[in-house]
Amino acid sequence: MARIVTGAGAAGEAAVDTLSPPAEAPDADPSRVSVIIPAYNAATTLDETLESLVAQTLCDWEAVVIDDGSTDSTGEVAVRWTERDPRVRLVRQANGGVSAARNTGIEHARAPWLFFLDADDWLHPDALQYLVTAAEARPDAGLAYPSVTRVAPDGVCDPFHCPEKLAADPPAMLRHQNQIAIHVLASRRLVRELGGFDTRLKTSEDWDLQRKIAFSGAAFVRVPEAISYYRMRAGSASMNGVQMLRDALAVLERNPPAAPADAGDVWEDDAFRLTLYAIWCAALEAGVGRDPLGVFEGLDLRLIDVYVHLEGAIECMFDAVRTGGRVPKTQVAREWGKLGPALEPLFQRLQDDAGRLGLAQILRYALEERVAREHDDREPLQVGSTLSVPIDLLNPLPDIPHPPGVDAVQLRMSSGSAPVGLLRLPLFGPMPARDLADILIRFFHRGYYFQINRTLSRPGFWASAAMRVPLAAVGGLPTPGGLKRRMGDALKAAGRAASGPA
C-alpha cells in the first residue's frame, strides 16, 4: 500500500497509510495540471526539479512526487518540499520501477491534465503555461508535446525540436518509432481509461502510452518552443540499446495492420522502420562504449538495405551515437576519434545483411561528412578521412593541408558571420590557397559542379595514396543548398581572396 505525506507536522508524523483517491475527483483541487514526478535515489537533483515548478508562470499546479523505494535521502528532500509548498505532495512506495511509480502518481492526481517530469529534469518558467493553454484551446486534445533540450554532463545544451507532422497525423507518426520525450501534457481521464503505463516495459513505456493516446483518436497539439530540459545520464534506462530494442519489438507487435506501402515510399515500410530503430539502438550502444552488435544477440532480425534511404540511416546513426556518448552535436567531431571506430562493426553488419559490396565504406564516408557539417571550431579538424575546414570568404583563403589518412575536405563557407554553405572536395595532396580560390571562383560562377557518387569522389576509395593531380581539374562536387542567395557576394569575396597570400 502506498503511503502519502501531506506535509503537516514533522516528517515522522506526516506519513500516514491511505487508500488511493477515487478514480474521478476533478473538483477536489483547483489545480489545472498535476505534475507526476517519479523519484528513485534523486536526492541530488530533486531540488532543482521542484525549483523549476515553483518558478512557473502558471501557478495553479500540483506536484505528486513518488518516492520509489529510494535508498538515499530522496524522501527527506521531498518532505521538506511538502512543508515548504502545499502544492507538493509525496507518496512513498516499495521500489517497482518508473512505470509503476508514474501509475501511482496518476492515481493520486486530481487535476484534469497530467504532466510527466522525471526527478532529474526541469522546466522553463513558461512551460506549463504554454502547454496548458495550447491543450485547453483544443476541445479534442488528448496530448500536448513541446520541443526539448538535451543537457550534456558538462552543461552544454542541445535543443531537439519535435516534429510538426506529429500533430497532423499522430497514429502514422508514432506507429514505427518514438518521436517525442516523456515531457508531455496528457488528459488524466484519457490516460486512466487507457490503463496508464505498461509496467512490463523497462523502456519505451512513454512511447507505448503515447501510441495508445494517438490510436484513440485524440488530437495532439505541438508547442514548438524547447521548454523542458532532459539530463543525459550514463546510467539511465534510455542508454541501454539492448533493452530498448527488445521493448520496442514488444511495442511494435501491438501495431494495427498497415496498408501496403506505396512502391516509392520506403518510409512507410514496416521493415525499413524496424531496421532504422535497430540501427539507432546499435549506434547508441556504440556511443556508450559497448559492442553495437550486442543488440542483435538472440534476435532473428535481418536488416534491409539502408542504401535505399541513405540519408535517413545516416541521420539515425548520427543522433544515436551522440546520444550514447552524451555529446552535443557541435562537439561530435572532436570525439570522432573514439565514436567513429566504435561504429565499424555496425557498418559491416549492414553491408553483410544488404549484400551490397562497398556499403560499409559508403556509410563511413557519409557519416563523416554529416559529423563534419556540425563542426563549429575556427580551426581545421580531421574527422576520420574527412578534413573539416572553416572558410571565411571575406578573408584570404588558407592553404589546405593533407593529413595522413585524409582523402576529402569539407569546406564550411561563410561570409563574415553569415553562413554560405558546404562544399566537399576530393583531396589528393596539399591544396595551395590559389588553387582553392580558382575552384571557388569557378564553383560560384557556375553555381554547381557535376554530382557523382559519394565514394567515387573519394580518391582513397579508388586511387592509390601516391596518385597526385592538380585539384583545379577535379569535378565531382555536389550542389550545396541555399548558395544562390549569396552567390554574388561570395563570388566577389572569392575573387578578393584569390589575391591574398598563396
Q: How far apart are CA 21 and CA 2, in angstroms?
A: 11
Cell of 136: 485547453
- Per-residue pLDDT at 21: 39
- Nearest alpha-carbon partner for 321 in 241, 386, 380, 383: 241
End-of-domain residue from the set 321, 350, 373 = 373
End-of-domain residue from the set 314, 343, 373 = 373
Same domain, 148 and 279: no
Between CA 156 and CA 161, with CA 157 as vertex, the angle to 5 degrees is: 155
Q: Label residue 272 exposed, middle or buried (CB < 10 Å: 0-12, 13-18, 19+).
A: buried
Residue 349 neighbours by CB distance under 10 Å: 18
Same domain, 369 and 387: no
Same domain, 218 and 307: no
Instruction: Please compute Rg for the chain using Cα positions.
Output: 26
Q: 359 to each of 101, 133, 293, 477, how far by Cα in Å?
A: 45, 49, 17, 20
- Per-residue pLDDT at 177: 82
Q: How far apart are CA 34 and CA 106, in angstroms?
A: 8
Same domain, 130 and 245: no
Between CA 394 and CA 435, with CA 411 as vertex, the angle to 5 degrees is: 75
Q: How far apart are CA 228 and CA 160, in angstroms?
A: 10
What letters, b where the CB count within 10 A reaches 16 and e where it falls short, cover 376-397?
A: eeeebbbbbbbbbbbbbbbeeb
Full domain range(s) for residue 409: 381-498
Residues 432-458: pLDDT tens digits? Answer: 999 998 888 887 766 544 334 444 455
- Per-residue pLDDT at 491: 46
Same domain, 368 and 404: no
Question: Within the chain, which residues score under 50 in pLDDT?
Answer: 7-27, 261-267, 448-456, 461-492, 494-495, 498-499, 501-502
Same domain, 27 and 155: yes
Same domain, 35 and 150: yes
Domain of 41: which CATH number? 3.90.550.10
Helix axes 205-215, 241-252, angle to 10 degrees: 20
Query: At 419, which amino acid appears?
Result: P
**3-state DSSP call for residue 35?**
strand
End-of-domain residue from the set 307, 338, 373 = 373
- Nearest alpha-carbon partner for 186 in 204, 163, 164, 213: 213
Same domain, 360 and 224: no
Query: At 55, which amino acid appears?
Result: A
Number of structural domains the chain divides into:
3
Same domain, 317 and 406: no
Q: How far apart are CA 303 and CA 295, in angstroms?
A: 13
- Per-residue pLDDT at 235: 63
Determine contact, residues 229/148, Cβ cutoff 8 Å.
yes
The model's pTM is: 0.76
Same domain, 200 and 261: no
- Per-residue pLDDT at 377: 80
- Nearest alpha-carbon partner for 116 in 124, 107, 106: 106
Cell of 319: 543522433
- Per-residue pLDDT at 421: 85
Residue-wise DSSP of 244-267: HHHHHHHHHTTPPP-PPPPTT-GG
Same domain, 305 and 182: no
* Sheet strand arrangement including 386-392: 381-383, 386-392, 408-415, 418-426
Same domain, 300 and 426: no
- Per-residue pLDDT at 154: 76
Cα 448 to its chain centre, rounded Å, is 32
